[in-house]
Chains A and B, each alone.
Chain A
Amino acid sequence: MNKFSIYQYLLILVILTLGFIYALPNIYPTQPSIQVAYTDSGKSADQALLVELKDILSQSESEYDEIFLRENKIVVKFDDVNKQLASKTILQNALLDKVIIALNLEPSTPQWLKNLGGNPVKLGLDLSGGVHFLLEVDIDTAQLGRLELLLDSYRTTFKDERISYDKSSIKDLALFFQFSDKSSYNKALKKYKEDSPLINGVQYVITERPSSNTLLLEYSDIALREIRDYAVGQNLVTLRNRVNELGVSEPIVQRQGANRIVVELPGVQDPTAAKKIIGKTANLEFRLEANSRTSPLRKEKFNFKDNEFQTAFLEKAVVVSGDRVTNANTGFDESGFAQVNITLDMEGGRALQKATTGNIGRRLGVLFVEQKNKSELVTNDLGEKIIEQTSYIEKNIISLATVQAVLGTSFRITGVGSPAEASELALLLRAGALAAPMKFVEERTVGPSLGKENIELGIRSIVIGFSMVVLFMFFYYRVFGLAANFSLVINLVLITGIMSLLGATLTLPGIAGIVLTVGMAVDANVLIFSRIREELKEKDPQLAIKDGFSRAFVTIFDANVTTLIAALILYVIGTGPIKGFAITLSIGIVTSMFTAIMCTRGIVNLVYGNKNIKTLKI
């Protein structure tokens, strides 16, 4: 009685081995390293760059451990932080704008472990230090932009098809047309209905007001969802580019919910600089300067960005906007002043060529478009004071230069100020345009010292809590206590292994989850042992062990399933740290069940199985 078959032991052994292998990468220390990537995000690091870096490092006699190409980056590892920082400076000075260099801590996992897919657990921002941003995409503005285009296109269509209207505008995110007569009204309605069908529904919701010959056109829910998904998707791409420009080693840029984007930058220590680049919802518009022949209706007055007293009139028509820019970098002109070299895509190049042909000698203005937020205290319908945030758009001229020749896909802007200003402009140009403005709705910065402190405190409380439980179990249950303690150790190893394998992120609440699991994992063992004690009053030891385990199983199963329900709900509703807690708790519940039922039993069977025992100390 109370013997496991060889297969049961094998199963335990296989799971334990896997657990150990995947937990193993966590005991190797991290190494200071740098990651080098080309500034032009379209270009991947290659063998040539590797050779170049090696040359620079050997010329300056910098010591490094290892240098290799990984995906689109080159990684250089060092044995101490000073060498890391020194080499970073040397490389940056030698290569300047050509590359982006990020500091990083590289795990020193051995190759054979990596080949098996072994990686250390990722640390959350609260442990590694860094910045977390939550940005909200302003869908209304994206929708408004679409509506303006739509208004323009229908005005043209109606003109072409001789549908006459008296008034046209955008009111409350709806297209408004008042037609001159019934027949125009009917023709327009027909037109709208023809344009509306989509594959999966309709694009427009049309409100008909035949009495006043007016039609209101709004986007349907399906069309709105499409606009939203497009805007968020476009902004994600742009944000990824901007984040790459920051040179952060393992950034996260992810959509969260319908219209929010999470940006996490581990290791970033200056949130202000990061925010400046990420939050800059800047765009550019290239417009010709208005001249004497431009009608007053077609021109607009703007201030200069660096001098608010200086103004100029630009045409209303935008020649090219910032999203046509494919590349931009800084350089110097013949007389040594900073300039920005710009490359446009084909469409942008054609538009600029068309606009500049016949306009040589006129000036081309570059408008810097920035979205700013303004908050106001207002009283709502219920009489409560609430905050209303409105965003407005500010456009300033950053450059107004004479067109020297017909411009195409590549050209340069001179007179952009200092080299630093030129490089910031180039950075913004490269990072591209956002499809819709965004605002920060949440920001969390954890300094590096706090991160380190959190890890230390977390580990300390695990060690202390764990030791107390282990001691208690040993003194209270003796041999069985030892079996339970062994299971507890296995449990910790398995949790670590599974988290590493899943690529789950460990956070401070996650550590708390592990500590809690240690406490609760004991429960399954205690349930079994108390049951065995009870059974011992009426049965002989072997039978008592057998029945103790099997009867406690039902209880353990029900109790754990219900706790698992609570943990899963936490995971679904939670974000960030709470998710981390839910993950470790769920993994802990599963592993503690396995260890109590399989491992503890295995050891007890090894010790007492098939033996003739008179008394059982428990």
Chain B
Amino acid sequence: MDIRFRFMKFRKIAATISAAVLIVSILSLSFRGLNLGLDFSGGTLVEVTYDKPVSLESIRDNLSDNGYADSQVVNFGTNLDVLIKVADLDGNSSVGEDIFNILNSSESTIDLKRVEFVGPQVGEELRDQGGLGMLVALFMILLYVAFRFQYKFGLGAVAALGHDVIIILGCFSVFAWDFDLTVLAALLAVIGYSLNDTIVVSDRIRENFRTERVLEPLDMIDLSLNQTLSRTIITSLTTLLVLFALFFFGGELIKGFSLALILGVLVGTYSSIYVVANMLLSLNLTQEDLALPEPEGADFDHMP
């Protein structure tokens, strides 16, 4: 048999690393929390472009003189673009105009790029909806995979997805990156992507368990992983190519989005190898689990 790389030899080490990263992520999430973006925290955000570089300090001073002492002022992309965030909690929707007027009256000319105001209640609802969506997605996927494959694969897939989502959230928490709606969308796309990987690997494991009757489960999984390895690497590579294009050339607004997806592709590729396989081994996947008189795939065989 053509087993070039003994993946499962490192399963214990991989499990330890996964566990450690998961623990760090969960700890960070529960103590530090996420640096919630405007979509979820509510508040006002103003993005302006100056015609010449200005010191952020002077903008801060100007704003705090005018009653916005708690404003966050940062450069956004270039040093001409300035982003001002006010965690204005009294749900007042005219803060954006106010800030623009304050800045516009000082000596440099500015161009208003965008103003966003999210009421506190809307932010809270978006938060709930996002969390709910994630849970519903995971559950539906568990059902589908359990139905198409077998419940042990369903559990494996969901474990892998949970692993990916928690680690990405953990990274956003540890590095205090802005977590906004687009990052949430990316997270759901990661579920889709990582699942893609997981299904491809599971599919091959299922096939081998049915056809190669002489091998031990451990070897069977190693064989399957080796067979799918080239595809896994190439797909990850092409996806990463476009994601890096997005990250470097797509502009500031989708930096967080592409970052989450890049992490997702890396973690997702790893998890479809180690998390799923580990899970299947610890659940004692046997040939009897998959023994069917006729492979399910047969229905499709005559199709192009």
Q: Which A residues are CB-close (under 8 A) to B145?
A: 562
Residue of A nearest to B237 (CB): A472
- B137, B185, B200, B258: the one contacting A565 at CB < 8 Å is B137
Given A472-B238, A578-B184, A527 contacting B200 (CB threshold 8 A): yes
Q: Which of B13-21, B58-66, B92-100, B282-290 contacts A (4 or more CB under 8 A)?
A: B92-100
User: Residues 114-129 of chain B: 1 if any A CB is under 8 Å from the residue's CB, otherwise 0?
Assistant: 1111111110001001
Task: Tell me the number of A-to-B contacts counted with CB atoms below 8 Å.
Answer: 247
- A387, A550, A582: the one contacting B304 at CB < 8 Å is A550
Q: Tell me, in angstroms, the Cα distance from A555 to B228 when the chains sit together.
A: 11
Residues B196 and A559 in contact, CB atoms below 8 Å apart? yes
Given A518-B242, A523-B196, A555-B203, A562 contacting B144 (CB threshold 8 A): yes
Chain A interfacial residues counted at CB < 8 A: 86
Shortest CB-to-CB span from A17 to chain B, Å, is 20
Given A387-B120, A519-B239, A523-B196, A457 contacting B249 (CB threshold 8 A): yes
Q: Tell me, in angstroms, the Cα distance from A286 to B130 when the chains sit together.
A: 48
Residues A454 and B253 in contact, CB atoms below 8 Å apart? yes
- A450, A509, A533, A581: the one contacting B113 at CB < 8 Å is A450
- B112, B250, B297: the one contacting A512 at CB < 8 Å is B250
Shortest CB-to-CB span from B37 to chain A, Å, is 13
Q: Which A residues are CB-close (under 8 A) to B91?
A: 373, 375, 387, 389, 441
Residues B300 and A473 in contact, CB atoms below 8 Å apart? no
A302 at the interface (CB under 8 A from B): no
Highest count of chain A CB atoms <10 Å: which of B140, B228, B234, B240: B234
Q: Which B residues are CB-close (under 8 A) to A389?
A: 90-91
- B119, B136, B181, B297: the one contacting A577 at CB < 8 Å is B181
- B115, B189, B228: the one contacting A444 at CB < 8 Å is B115
* Residues from 110 to 136 in A contacting B, C-beta threshold 8 Å: 126, 134, 136
* Residues from 129 to 169 in B contacting A, C-beta threshold 8 Å: 129-130, 132-133, 136-137, 140-141, 144-145, 148
Q: Which A residues are CB-close (under 8 A) to B132?
A: 573
User: Residues 68-100 of chain A: 1 if any B CB is under 8 Å from the residue's CB, otherwise 0?
Assistant: 000000000000000000000000000000000
Given A375-B91, A454-B253, A578-B185, A527 contacting B243 (CB threshold 8 A): no
User: Residues 1-35 of chain A: 1 if any B CB is under 8 Å from the residue's CB, otherwise 0?
Assistant: 00010001000000000000000000000000000
Shortest CB-to-CB span from B102 to chain A, Å, is 14
B241 at the interface (CB under 8 A from A): yes
Residue of B nearest to A444 (CB): B116
Q: Tell me, in angstroms, the Cα distance from A24 to B304 when the chains sit together.
A: 30
Q: Tell me, in angstroms, the Cα distance from A464 to B245 when the chains sit together.
A: 6
A59 at the interface (CB under 8 A from B): no
- B181, B193, B302: the one contacting A578 at CB < 8 Å is B181
Residues B193 and A563 in contact, CB atoms below 8 Å apart? yes
Residues B119 and A442 in contact, CB atoms below 8 Å apart? yes
Given A468-B241, A555-B200, A566-B188, A550 contacting B136 (CB threshold 8 A): no
A449 at the interface (CB under 8 A from B): yes
Residues B133 and A570 in contact, CB atoms below 8 Å apart? yes
Highest count of chain A CB atoms <10 Å: which of B120, B231, B300: B231
Given A134-B122, A509-B257, A530 contacting B238 (CB threshold 8 A): no
Residues A449 and B111 in contact, CB atoms below 8 Å apart? yes
Shortest CB-to-CB span from B165 to chain A, Å, is 12
Highest count of chain A CB atoms <10 Å: which of B115, B148, B250: B250
User: Residues 449-473 of chain A: 1 if any B CB is under 8 Å from the residue's CB, otherwise 0?
Assistant: 1100110011011001110110011
Counting from the closest, the 4 A-B pairs by CB-CB distance are A465-B242, A465-B245, A519-B239, A441-B119
Interface residues, chain A, with chain B CB atoms under 8 Å away: 4, 8, 126, 134, 136, 271-272, 275, 373, 375-377, 387, 389, 439-447, 449-450, 453-454, 457-458, 460-461, 464-466, 468-469, 472-473, 476, 508-509, 511-513, 515-516, 518-520, 522-523, 526-527, 530, 533-534, 549-551, 553-555, 557-563, 565-567, 569-570, 572-575, 577-578, 581-582, 585, 597-598, 601
The 25 listed contacts between A and B (C-beta, < 8 Å) are A134-B119, A136-B119, A373-B91, A373-B92, A375-B91, A375-B92, A439-B93, A442-B117, A442-B122, A445-B116, A465-B245, A468-B245, A512-B182, A516-B242, A519-B243, A520-B239, A527-B235, A559-B200, A562-B141, A566-B137, A566-B191, A578-B182, A578-B185, A581-B182, A585-B192
